[in-house]
Structure 1
Amino acid sequence: MVQNGTEQLLTSDAVDRVVAQIDFTPLTGQKVYFQDQYIKDIKGIGFVNGDYIISSLRQQILAANCKLEEKAEQADYIIEARVGALGNDQHEVSYGIPASNVLSSVSALSPATPPIPAIPEISFAKKKQQVGAAKIGVFAYHRETKEPVWQAGVKASRSRSKESWFMGIGPLQSGTIYDGPMFAGAKIKRPIYQLFTKQYKQPEAPVPPVQYKDPHMFPIAKRLEQERQIEKIQHPDSDIQWAGHEEGSDQIKQLVDQASKLKPDEEEPAKE
């Protein structure tokens, strides 16, 4: 049975969980360069390889408001990372009679004996479990002096997928790569799920200012959008075209009102 999709989900989920544990906030506001020479040659399963890990770490660095430079000589600090594990394992447990071809092999030795077909697997219950694992270490040092300035330690995480069959009914699916209990790819109600499986809980990780898996609009993008709207109101005759906003809309007026509150108030005439 081909399990490429599940294997890639398990491995990438393990990488995502490890990266989400790494807190780059001690380097917030600093010019950093990410050294990827110890990661770029790593081969994984499908799309989960060195490039995926590098991009994930760069995203987490930017989420901590670090100034990521493209050249080492432009940075003050070098961030270096390495991968200690990237892969998955599979285990199967069957309760019943395993498949066997012993009798078929014995009957083939005797021409007088009619051929005996192989005995198929007869199981009352069956369980298949897959585990994806990833391990990443990160540290930083000053580019010029080579003095160590920070290390995140070595982070490791596992993702899990479990499939169960009972009396030929299944698979009942659960694990960290699913949003909830599944039966043959479809969601099922939790009471039935609790009878056969259990939730896999990961230890809580440090919470960075921006969650790795969550969409986020950074403050600079919000500020630039607000400035563009203010410019449109203050200079209506400008040749600049602003798409997606009607002139004089209530939303733009609210943005202008909010922006005016951020400016210093004008001095009021002295009261008599």
Structure 2
Amino acid sequence: MLISNAVDQSLNRIDFQPLESRAVFLDTTYLDCVDKNYIVASSRNRILQAGGKLVAKPEDAEVVVELRTGAVGTDQSETYIGIPELSLPGPLPIAIPQVKLWSKSTQTGTAKIGVVAFDSKSREIIGRGGTTLARSDDSNTYVFGVGPYQSGSVRQEVSRQLGRPEWHPVPEAIAFGPLKSGEPARLRLAGTDDEEPADSSQIDQISNRSLDQAPSQPNPPTAPAAPPSAQIIDDDPFAD
């Protein structure tokens, strides 16, 4: 984070806008440092954002952009207020531990990047070129052992990128939307810019219209009539 933050700050001070609509070849021959790939990729990104057209060969380019590095690295320092660790001489050596009332540790990243652009055919320089220098820092402070209290450009970048996401309230009101010809009634969410909810008379009207548009159900078929039951007729003439 220290080096990449310093590289971003350094490249932000380079104006790539004159490369708009021009074929550009990015020469990284003299670029040799830590995080070289990040510097190359970030430079390509800025050239494309400025409207330049990257090419793979210098003979196909109108402009050659040459990158170089003067210094890319990190450093660290620590400062505190308190009592250092001491050893008192004597028959029985006594060691006094270190006591820090206030302490601050700081890490810094430095990026010095040079750039020059020239015409690929005439080899004449375009603009003045030059170098940019930027430094990132990350500090942790402790007071009576309580901390760390962080500060610096790295913390600012992290807070900016990982801050609280924007909150969008969900509308709670539900209303009937205005009906168009031939459109069935439906529910919708009513936002701040939507129409006001329908009153009771409008809701009754919409409900009646929906009932009128509903297809009528056919009457259930009637069961066929049962055949007449057989009757036993006693016609025995010999019966008493």
Q: Structure 2 length normalisation: TM-score?
A: 0.62
SS at match of 2:9: helix
Identify which of 156, 161, 171 aligns with 1:179: 156
TM alignment of 1:125-204, pairs within 5 A: 125-179=102-156
Superposed CA RMSD in Å reads 2.1
Structure 1 residues 12 and 169: alpha-carbon distance in aligned structure 2, compared to 1, 3 A threshold: same
Matched, 1:52 2:52: no
Partner of 1:72: 58
Structure in which a larger fraction of residues adopt helix: 1
**One-letter code of the match for 1:38?**
Y
For structure 1, the residue ranges without an aligned partner over 5 or more in a row are 1-8, 108-112, 188-272
**One-letter code of the match for 1:66?**
G
**One-letter code of the match for 2:123?**
K
CA distance in 2, matches of 1:21, 1:117: 56
TM alignment of 1:250-261, pairs within 5 A: none
SS at match of 1:145: coil
Q: Deviations over 1:167-187 (max 9, x none)?
A: 1111111111113899xxxx9
Q: Deviations over 1:210-240 (max 9, x none)?
A: xxxxxxxxxxxxxxxxxxxxxxxxxxxxxxx
Matched, 1:31 2:23: yes
CA distance in 2, matches of 1:76, 1:89: 40
Tell whether the 8 Å contact from 1:172 to 1:181 is kept in structure 2 after alignment.
no
Identify which of 1, 10, 13 aligns with 1:21: 13
Q: Structure 1 length normalisation: TM-score?
A: 0.55
Q: Deviations over 1:7-43 (max 9, x none)?
A: xx1111000111122111112111110000111x32x
Structure in which a larger fraction of residues adopt strand: 2
SS at match of 1:144: coil
Higher relative contact order (CA 8 A, sep 6+): 1
Alignment length (residue pairs): 160
Matched, 1:61 2:47: yes
Structure showing greater Rg = 2
% identical equivalent positions: 37
For structure 2, the residue ranges without an aligned partner over 5 or more in a row are 164-240
Partner of 2:179: none
Structure 1 residues 86 and 27: alpha-carbon distance in aligned structure 2, compared to 1, 3 A threshold: same
| Deviation >3 Å, runs of 4+ | 179-182
